[in-house]
A and B are shown apart, each in its own frame.
Chain A
Amino acid sequence: EAQVTQNPRYLITVTGKKLTVTCSQNMNHEYMSWYRQDPGLGLRQIYYSMNVEVTDKGDVPEGYKVSRKEKRNFPLILESPSPNQTSLYFCASSNQGTGELFFGEGSRLTVL
Chain B
Amino acid sequence: RKEVEQDPGPFNVPEGATVAFNCTYSNSASQSFFWYRQDCRKEPKLLMSVYSSGNEDGRFTAQLNRASQYISLLIRDSKLSDSATYLCVVRGAAGNKLTFGGGTRVLVKP
Contacts and interface: CB of A to CB of B under 8 A. Distances in A.
Interface in B26-76: 32, 34, 36, 41-46, 49
Interface of B: 8, 32, 34, 36, 41-46, 49, 87, 89, 91, 95-98, 100-103
B91 A105 contact: no
Interface residues of A, number: 21
Contacts of B101: 42
Given A97-B95, A99-B32, A104 B43 contact: yes
A103 B45 contact: yes
Contacts of B91: 99
Interface in A80-105: 90, 96-97, 99-101, 103-105
Interface of A: 31, 33, 35, 40-45, 48, 50, 90, 96-97, 99-101, 103-106
Contacts of B95: 97
A48 B96 contact: yes
Contact of B46 (A44, A45, A100): A100
